[in-house]
Structure 1
Amino acid sequence: MYNTNLSTMKKILFILFVLFSIGKLHAQEANHDSFIVKNLEAKEAQYAKIAREIWENPELGYLEFTSSKLLADELRAAGFTVQMGVADMPTSFVATYDRGGPVIGFLAEYDALPGLSQDAVPFRSVLVDGGNGHGCGHNLFGTAVVASAITLKEWIDANQIKATLKIFGTPAEEGGAGKVYMVRAGLFDQVDAVINWHPGDRNSADASTCTAVMQGYFKFYGQTSHAAGAPERGRSALDAVEAMNMMVNMMREHVDQESRIHYVITNGGLAANVVPDYAVVEYMVRHPDVMEVKQMWERVKLAAEGAAMGTETRVEVEVVAGIYGLLPNETLAQAMHKNLTLVGGVHYDAEELDFAEKIQATLNVPKPPALTLAQEVQPYRLTHFPASTDVGDVSYVVPTVGLRTATWVPGTAAHTWQAVAADGMSIGYKGMMVAAKTMALTGKDLIMNPLLIREAKQEFETRLDGLEYAPLIGDMAPPLHFRKDQNKVR
């Protein structure tokens, strides 16, 4: 009887000990979360100021000298070691805070888009004719990542935790594929997991796939002549461009239905009465399967060669980007979704609500979504979106996770003046801070839970299924002139 009672007592004490330990762990977890969230909230005005400064100085890909320096200086002042100009790109950087332990990477973007100049008002108001604008919210993107990393660094210091943070300043996401060159240079080789985000019109932390893409210029060279006085002497480079476009358009019937092919003539000649001796067309080819993209690109090149042959011109092909689709990681995505749900969405005050209603009135959609969508966190799911990002290449060399937050008024599309307007005011800043908190909390989870990293790596290897990553760009140098040349041909 005595032994039975003693055994029962031991079991009860053991259960109480386990419950006490679990309760203590939960309390510690809550304290860590509180430290991170309060730290970010205390500096919200500071980070909003940085985001606004980048917004006011929108710089195109590979030309983001002011923006990259601003973010790098902020990290350096916080105690990070910063290396500028990595992978032969002057506006790239890697900022490192090394305290041993797991290595957690963050991706920062900061390039703008051409032709999207816009004031932070709910009606079309161009600041600079033909000027640039942050129509994809990269002023918020880069700032949120810096805010998240600095907060994690302070949390590491306060708790004497072993961990290493690496912030990758990645230029030219909008067409120049800066991350691909950083991957090729081996900068992610020792990283355990990578965190990133993107502005949007709602809050979600889905495990996502997207399309791979090849992008480049087809430059045709002909022979100039008077279009009326001596047309027989001319060989029109513009004819070659139009012939190529016609053949590619016919090719659309004979590609997989998930394919996307876009083109724009960036130089079609200078005067109607002069046979153009130079013309340029830019092409982008997309598909979820990277091998399908490579095959389609070869077919587009054949169309260009045929057009040159038929018009007695000459063609040169300049590849400016080649990127993989996203390799999803549900282990990491579910962890990030948990933290996004904890943080919650974006709540408008009266002034922001008025701004949002006026923005929605300008949207070309039959029925815009409810503005309360900005407050909600979307259910977790595995999704695909048909656009592309150079984060894809990173995801094929290290487990990678991302999220989207409601920096734009619900219903707003990316690359629009409505997105630019929200990116430069409080709605954008609120969404940015939701992202910063979620990323920092997810980084904390990765540091505190080695099993999470291990499971993410196991899923990563399973999804790769033996595929060996090889950059689509081959050994080409970064196209640092990409946006400069684009401006010239316009």
Structure 2
Amino acid sequence: MQKMYFFFSALLMVGIINAQTKNTEIIKDQAVNDIQAKYDDYKKVALQIWNYAEVGYKEVKSSALHQKTLSDNGFTVESGVAEIPTAFVATYGSGKPVIGILAEFDALPGLAQAAIPEKSTIEGQNAGHACGHHLFGTASVAAAIELKKLMVEGKLKGTIKLYGCPAEEGGSGKVYMVRAGLFNNVDVVIHWHPGNANEVTMTSALANSSAKFRFHGLSAHAAAAPERGRSALDGVESMDYMVNMMREHIPQETRIHYVITNGGKAPNVVPDFAEVYYYVRHPKRDQVKDIFERVVNAAKGAALGTGTTVDYEIIGGTHDLLLNKTLGEVMQKDLEKVGGVNYTPDEIAFAKKIQASFTFPAPDLSVATAIKPLSISPDAGGGSTDVGDVSYVVPTVGMSAATWVPGVPAHSWQAVACGGTDIGIKGMMVAAKTMALTAIDLYSSPLLIDKATQEFKQQLGNYQYKALLGDRKPALNYRD
């Protein structure tokens, strides 16, 4: 009798699980259809922000548009969070689970480009969305709005938070938001990034510290009285030389880049001020700290040797990215359900013209339609992201969608061009749908969240998160 009881209980449980799974799939199908039905609305938002092309911490119109879109759709919006005027948190719902979605919207300086397949700058415009953040923010907003709709209909329960995150491109906006406690009590964070293929992000990122080094000297006539001067530019160039000599004696995974942002104003004037902007990257945050200190010492030595003085301002600092296999497997399944991007004949012609500009072999256009298999690698990729800091305080998962023609690199005029067309918008919709489906899975199965949380805690170990940029205020004018 007891065996029969357990048998029928097991059958009942299987039936309940199957019914829940079927219901979840019905909700997912609705979400995909709902988001696709608003294609033109979200395209309009994304292209408006593409035209604004506002750089980090200056994204006034872009942030305002996202906030209005969310507010008009029933979200409560808190603006100016973490002492950043363009940062915000939009919230709907109540109780657990609490799922956050990240949204970015900053452009890159010096990359204004028309939405055509030949290099063509836009007169009077400096910046361009060469990393696709106009698409990033809009897809995240679209996913959040759909989840809210499903909550209103009683199909999901919990809280959705959309994080408006400024200045990812070097300004470390999310680090200040993490430091301000805005991700406390959040169960899972979902994000994505524009790219040239469709895949779940299961590769880590490089930890990063950045700073502007400012040398101060004495002005003098460069021909009539050079002995009276002390060149701040000499200080910068001496520092750069010493750092370049360092490259032979640091771990090979290290990346150091710099630009001289101010080298003086006229050749016949010994410059009394010069500035150089440095990035130091490595897969491990501790290595970044050590190498950055060596760069600081190079700056001090350069100042001593040139009779100048130097000070520096920390601009940004980000952690590497913690990967969550549990969440990655959930998102992979949803990305495969959504599928990739299909080009029209006109888009194929556009894509081939873009690819003709490459200095390397172009991938087949079918890459945009395909979904890459899940591949987990703890090794760092080639870039850094302030999402890394989020991943150290809450389980986090992300993906990339083919918003650019296969082969197009980020931070290029080709990326800007693609992002201003339906090629970019179609990839954006893939991301919006996938993020919404992943959230639906998590709202529908608290056990998935529990499993992801346990994995997160094991990865974190005894590490106590501390921002690499210290206690400085947000660098609101770092693009000046």
TM-score with structure 2 setting the length: 0.97
Is the 1:206–1:337 contact (alpha carbons within 8 Å) kept by the matching residues of 2? no
Q: Give 3-state SS (helix, strand or coil) of 2:479's partner.
A: helix
| Among candidates 275, 280, 284, match of residue 279 of structure 2 | 284
Pairing 1:271–2:266 present: yes
CA distance in 2, matches of 1:330, 1:253: 36
| Among candidates 266, 287, 293, match of residue 288 of structure 2 | 293
Q: Which amino acid aligns with 1:408?
A: W
Q: Which residue of 2 aligns with 1:249?
A: 244
Q: CA deviation at 1:481?
A: 1.0
Pairing 1:108–2:103 present: yes
Is the 1:114–1:130 contact (alpha carbons within 8 Å) kept by the matching residues of 2? no
Q: Which residue of 1 aligns with 2:466?
A: 470
Q: CA deviation at 1:207?
A: 1.8
CA distance in 1, matches of 2:255, 2:171: 19
Q: CA deviation at 1:125?
A: 1.3
Pairing 1:374–2:372 present: no
Pairing 1:64–2:59 present: yes
Pairing 1:479–2:466 present: no
CA distance in 1, matches of 2:314, 2:342: 43
| Among candidates 298, 303, 307, match of residue 308 of structure 1 | 303
CA distance in 2, matches of 1:273, 1:65: 40
CA distance in 2, matches of 1:237, 1:354: 51
Q: Give 3-state SS (helix, strand or coil) of 1:482's partner.
A: coil
CA distance in 2, matches of 1:326, 1:232: 51
Listed one character per residue, the Cα deviations across residues 421-449 of structure 1 (whole Å, up to 9, x for unaligned) are: 01111000000000000000001111111
CA distance in 2, matches of 1:172, 1:21: 46
CA distance in 1, matches of 2:18, 2:447: 20
Listed one character per residue, the Cα deviations across residues 123-156 of structure 1 (whole Å, up to 9, x for unaligned) are: 1111135611000000000000000000011011
CA distance in 2, matches of 1:160, 1:210: 36
Q: CA deviation at 1:165?
A: 0.6
Q: CA deviation at 1:321?
A: 0.3
CA distance in 2, matches of 1:382, 1:181: 29
Is the 2:24–2:444 contact (alpha carbons within 8 Å) kept by the matching residues of 1? no
Pairing 1:443–2:439 present: yes
Pairing 1:342–2:356 present: no
Q: Which residue of 2 aligns with 1:44?
A: 39
Is the 2:24–2:441 contact (alpha carbons within 8 Å) kept by the matching residues of 1? no
Q: Which residue of 2 aligns with 1:229?
A: 224
CA distance in 2, matches of 1:223, 1:46: 57
Q: Give 3-state SS (helix, strand or coil) of 1:454's partner.
A: helix
Q: Which amino acid aligns with 1:330?
A: K
CA distance in 2, matches of 1:283, 1:353: 40
Residues 121-136 of structure 1 aligned to structure 2 (within 5 Å): 121-129=116-124, 131-136=126-131
Q: Which amino acid aligns with 1:357?
A: K
Listed one character per residue, the Cα deviations across residues 312-363 of structure 1 (whole Å, up to 9, x for unaligned) are: 0010101110111101111111111110011111110111111101100011
Listed one character per residue, the Cα deviations across residues 382-406 of structure 1 (whole Å, up to 9, x for unaligned) are: 1331210000110000001100000
State the Cα RMSD in Å: 1.6
Listed one character per residue, the Cα deviations across residues 29-64 of structure 1 (whole Å, up to 9, x for unaligned) are: 221111111110111110011000000110000000
Pairing 1:421–2:417 present: yes
Q: Which residue of 1 aligns with 2:80?
A: 85
Deviates more, 1:322-331 or 1:25-34: 25-34
Q: Which residue of 2 aligns with 1:459?
A: 455
Q: Which amino acid aligns with 1:398?
A: V
- C-alpha distance 21-325 of structure 1, shift in aligned 2 (>3 A): same
Structure 1: stretches of 5+ with no match in the other structure = 485-490
Q: Which residue of 2 aligns with 1:488?
A: none
| Among candidates 375, 385, 388, match of residue 392 of structure 1 | 388
Q: Which amino acid aligns with 1:139?
A: H
Q: Which residue of 2 aligns with 1:95?
A: 90
Is the 1:35–1:155 contact (alpha carbons within 8 Å) kept by the matching residues of 2? no
Q: CA deviation at 1:15?
A: 7.3
Q: Give 3-state SS (helix, strand or coil) of 2:105's partner.
A: coil
Q: Give 3-state SS (helix, strand or coil) of 1:172's partner.
A: coil
Q: CA deviation at 1:16?
A: 6.3
Q: Give 3-state SS (helix, strand or coil) of 2:95's partner.
A: coil
Q: Identity of aligned pairs, percent?
A: 53
CA distance in 2, matches of 1:407, 1:478: 30
Pairing 1:405–2:366 present: no
CA distance in 2, matches of 1:12, 1:174: 57
- C-alpha distance 397-13 of structure 1, shift in aligned 2 (>3 A): closer
- C-alpha distance 89-410 of structure 1, shift in aligned 2 (>3 A): same
Q: Give 3-state SS (helix, strand or coil) of 1:479's partner.
A: coil
Is the 1:109–1:141 contact (alpha carbons within 8 Å) kept by the matching residues of 2? yes
Q: CA deviation at 1:482?
A: 0.9
Q: Which amino acid aligns with 1:284?
A: Y
Is the 2:93–2:148 contact (alpha carbons within 8 Å) kept by the matching residues of 1? no
CA distance in 2, matches of 1:7, 1:458: 34
CA distance in 2, matches of 1:303, 1:371: 47
Is the 1:117–1:129 contact (alpha carbons within 8 Å) kept by the matching residues of 2? no
CA distance in 2, matches of 1:275, 1:457: 58
| Higher gyration radius (CA) | 1
Is the 2:24–2:440 contact (alpha carbons within 8 Å) kept by the matching residues of 1? no
Is the 2:243–2:298 contact (alpha carbons within 8 Å) kept by the matching residues of 1? yes
TM-score with structure 1 setting the length: 0.95
Q: Which amino acid aligns with 2:296?
A: K
Q: CA deviation at 1:101?
A: 2.0
- C-alpha distance 329-13 of structure 1, shift in aligned 2 (>3 A): closer
Q: Which amino acid aligns with 1:63?
A: K
CA distance in 2, matches of 1:11, 1:397: 41
Q: Which amino acid aligns with 2:33?
A: K
- C-alpha distance 467-20 of structure 1, shift in aligned 2 (>3 A): closer
Listed one character per residue, the Cα deviations across residues 83-141 of structure 1 (whole Å, up to 9, x for unaligned) are: 10001000000001122221000110000000100111111111135611000000000
Structure 2: stretches of 5+ with no match in the other structure = none
Q: Which residue of 2 aligns with 1:152?
A: 147
- C-alpha distance 333-311 of structure 1, shift in aligned 2 (>3 A): same
Is the 1:122–1:355 contact (alpha carbons within 8 Å) kept by the matching residues of 2? yes
- C-alpha distance 18-323 of structure 1, shift in aligned 2 (>3 A): closer
Q: Give 3-state SS (helix, strand or coil) of 1:186's partner.
A: coil
CA distance in 1, matches of 2:310, 2:405: 44
Q: Which amino acid aligns with 1:448?
A: S
CA distance in 2, matches of 1:411, 1:483: 29
